[in-house]
């Protein structure tokens, strides 16, 4: 019944995804989510609503966040890779918009979908039967903030030079600082195909424990 045309016709809240699944915004369930859809959605979702001087996507942002996390903690790296995963089906809302009172319920709904994705794909959450939570891990939140500062310097304004003091966090178990800078630089300067970007993202997920 989940993928029946009848459900699609009778429920105005249902949306058909790239893979052919029907996603019910009124009652999202784990079986409505596929990793294929997540990859396509994040690879095509513009970061900053597209207000950059070149194309830059949420999947690139997610990769940078993952490089800014302790590499010997795979469950945290996976949280970083999937910390905006709900945006495959929701929008990438700019922070100023998120502060509007009218956005509170929309943000909560997005968090629920993200945590549903966490529980479905991250082994740590599955094993520990982790219940839904509103906030991401503090290390992921810190990396997200650092990634934003880096992106703002590189992409955000075409005619404005922004110099921000930010520190690339290095943890015990991380690769050396040169490698980390090179990984981030490769993502910022990415000029290959969508398929190549998705391949890098999938490899990172597989490396850290997602069985795709």
Q: Give the pLDDT confidence of 132-169 residue by residue, as tens digits.
A: 556 789 999 999 999 998 998 887 666 666 666 778 88
Q: In the prediction, which pLDDT does 51 show?
A: 86
Q: Give the pLDDT confidence of 65-113 residue by residue, as tens digits.
A: 999 999 999 999 999 999 999 999 998 888 889 889 999 999 999 999 9
Two structure tokens written together for 56 = 């830059």
- Name residues whose C-beta falls within 8 Å of residue 162's C-beta, 6 or more positions apart in sequence: 152, 153, 156
Q: Give the pLDDT confidence of 42-67 residue by residue, as tens digits.
A: 999 999 888 888 889 999 999 999 99
- Name residues whose C-beta falls within 8 Å of residue 176's C-beta, 6 or more positions apart in sequence: none
What's the sign of the alpha-carbon dihedral 155, 73, 40, 126? negative
Higher pLDDT, 10 or 39: 39
Residue 171: closest CA among 63, 74, 62, 58 = 74
Rounded-to-10 torsion of CA 44, 47, 53, 54: -30
Neighbouring-strand partners of residue 24: 14
The single-letter DSSP state of residue 104 is H
- What is the Cα–Cα distance from 82 to 23, expressed in whole angstroms? 18
Predicted TM-score (pTM) of this structure: 0.90
């Amino acid at each position: 019944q989940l993928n029946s045309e009848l459900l699609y016709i009778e429920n105005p809240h249902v949306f058909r995804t790239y893979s052919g699944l029907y996603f019910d915004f009124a009652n999202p369930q784990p079986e409505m989510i596929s990793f294929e859809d997540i990859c396509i959605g994040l690879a095509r979702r513009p970061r900053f609503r597209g207000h950059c001087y070149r194309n830059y996507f949420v999947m690139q942002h997610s990769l940078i966040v993952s490089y800014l996390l302790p590499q010997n903690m795979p469950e945290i790296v996976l949280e970083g890779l999937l910390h905006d995963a709900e945006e495959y089906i929701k929008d990438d809302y700019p922070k100023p918009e998120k502060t509007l009172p009218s956005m509170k319920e929309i943000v909560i709904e997005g968090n629920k979908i993200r945590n549903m994705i966490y529980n479905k794909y991250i082994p740590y959450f599955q094993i520990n039967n982790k219940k839904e939570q509103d906030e991401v891990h503090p290390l992921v939140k810190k990396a997200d903030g650092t990634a934003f500062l880096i992106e703002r310097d590189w992409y955000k304004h075409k005619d404005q030079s922004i110099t921000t003091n930010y520190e690339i966090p290095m943890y015990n178990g991380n690769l050396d600082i040169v490698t980390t800078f090179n990984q981030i630089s490769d993502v910022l300067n990415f000029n290959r195909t969508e398929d190549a970007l998705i391949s890098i993202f999938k490899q990172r997920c597989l490396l850290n424990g997602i069985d795709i």
